[in-house]
Amino acid sequence: MAFTAKIVGIPHIPTIKDVNIRTEPKKSGTLLFKAPVGTGGLSVVEVKPDAENQAQAGKVFQWFKLAFSDGQQGWCRDDLMEVQGDGKKFGYGNVAVSTLAFNLERAKAPAAAPAAVPVSAPPAAAAPTPAVAAQQADNAGPGMIICMSQGGANMRPGPGTTTGAPVFRIPYLAEAKILGTDKSRDPNDPFTWINIDFNGTKGWLREDFTRLKGNFEQFGVGFHDMYPSPAPESWWARDFNLNPNFNPVMHHGWDHSGKVGAPILAGPKGGKVIKVAMCQKCGPNGLSAVTDKGYGVSDGRVLQDPGWNYGYGHFVNVTYHHDKLPKSTQQKLAAQGKAGWHISVNYAHLHSIAVQPNQELAPNASIGTMGNSGNSTGAHLHLEVRAHQDPNNTNWPSMKSGLMSPVILFLR
């Protein structure tokens, strides 16, 4: 049977009605046209790994050059399409049932005509997502910040939001050189302010609006061995806060915002799933759960209801054993009188869950996807961290006294 493709979009996001077909096998390739979800019977002309090495859950995307019925040909990413039939020529086997192409493993060398077919991407474990790679491996070059505020962020003339009118608004994902830092301004302000140079424009930015790359350790804003953001495709939303003098609204974790379905990844050395909790009242797809049911945000009827998982929605708890923690985290724990303690993490408001209780996770394994379940009004990951002494403790509420800022373990 011929190897054919069908456009399926993102099945758990039914509002997506078509997908982008591009001139090249990469997301930045020019948009040729949009192909409606459901278009099938498309011949596969060629398959190539993502030209920018883009990956999800450590697996590099493959792109398929497809022939459409009007004679046009263009590239579609493998997470948006199913394939079926004899794919040996392209490094796949014989696919009996129409299957999401991303879920198939592509052989390194195709069974036939090896010289004519491009070599596939390296195996999944060797290919971390770009964000993981940026934070874990790229410690060469000058210390840089990447702006993680979705609408851009104001650079101030001095450290602190009240030092004067913004000098410039640095765009989302723009990079700027770190010149120095200041964390001494206001005893109630928990943030380090970072002095940056963006293409010659100098100003100050609050640390939580940034991710870090290059040689940043010298500025005291983080350590290279810390875990990267578990939500590589996200932007910064909200910090940990237990100080009513700084902000009267308490927040027991970090919020990373993004799109429903964005990947959520385990730590770089793996961990153990200790609890998987589906939310009974969030509905089958867990979308817009609270507001759909007529509650406001942080309504006591949600936060006190086990049916809503006390507001966490669909969530997963993972324990990271002390031995697997970064050296910098071990030292920070010891400095707090918690030498040898373990860390458990709650990944909350998920859309889908890809793990099971007691599962030992591979490094950077997919935990699930970002969602809007529980006490949430927009897709985000709520990341909550608790330290405890018993590595076999699976009772998340019992760890409450060990609540701490995710900065003990995670880079933003």
**Binding-site ranges for Zn ion (CB under 5 A):** 255, 382
Interacting residues of 170 by C-beta distance below 8 A, sequence separation 6+: 147, 152, 153, 155, 176, 196, 198, 205
Of 87 and 406, nearer to Zn ion (C-beta) is: 406
Instruction: Give least dist CB 235 to Zn ion, A.
Output: 14
The structure tokens 């939580």 sit at 208
Q: Which residue is nearest to Zn ion (CB)?
A: 382
Of 8 and 231, nearer to Zn ion (C-beta) is: 231
Instruction: Give least dist CB 338 to Zn ion, A.
Output: 23
Instruction: Give least dist CB 238 to Zn ion, A.
Output: 6
Of 206 and 382, nearer to Zn ion (C-beta) is: 382
DSSP run (H or E) holding 301: helix 300-303
Q: Report the b/e string of 161-172 with b at 16+ CB within 10 A.
A: eeeeeebbebee
Of 139 and 241, nearer to Zn ion (C-beta) is: 241
Helices (H), 78-232: 130-136
Of 210 and 346, nearer to Zn ion (C-beta) is: 346
Instruction: Give least dist CB 237 to Zn ion, A.
Output: 8
User: Do 16 and 9 touch, CB atoms closer than 8 A?
Assistant: yes
User: Do 208 and 236 touch, CB atoms closer than 8 A?
Assistant: yes
The candidate with the shortest Cα–Cα distance to 178, out of 148, 135, 138, 220, is 220
Q: In 3-state terms, what secondary structure has residue 79? A: helix
**Residue type at 65?**
K
Instruction: Give least dist CB 348 to Zn ion, A.
Output: 7
Of 342 and 382, nearer to Zn ion (C-beta) is: 382
State residue 177 phi and psi, 5-degree precision.
-80, 135
Q: What share of the chain is helix, strand, coil (3-state, %, to 5)?
A: 15, 35, 50
What residues are paired with 384 via a beta bridge? 346
Instruction: Give least dist CB 410 to Zn ion, A.
Output: 14
How many C-beta neighbours within 10 Å does residue 79 have?
Answer: 18
Of 22 and 382, nearer to Zn ion (C-beta) is: 382
DSSP type of residue 178? E
Of 89 and 238, nearer to Zn ion (C-beta) is: 238
Among left, alpha and beta (phi > 0; psi -120 to 50; other), residue 43 is beta
Of 189 and 255, nearer to Zn ion (C-beta) is: 255
Among left, alpha and beta (phi > 0; psi -120 to 50; other), residue 57 is left
Of 208 and 255, nearer to Zn ion (C-beta) is: 255
Instruction: Give least dist CB 266 to Zn ion, A.
Output: 19
Q: CA-to-CA distance for 363 and 78, rounded, in angstroms?
A: 23
Q: Distance of alpha carbon 192 from its chain centroid, rounded?
A: 23
Of 233 and 255, nearer to Zn ion (C-beta) is: 255
Instruction: Give least dist CB 167 to Zn ion, A.
Output: 30
Instruction: Give least dist CB 292 to Zn ion, A.
Output: 19
Instruction: Give least dist CB 376 to Zn ion, A.
Output: 8
Interacting residues of 269 by C-beta distance below 8 A, sequence separation 6+: 320, 324, 363
Instruction: Give least dist CB 99 to Zn ion, A.
Output: 36
Q: What token pair was written down for 285?
A: 């797809």
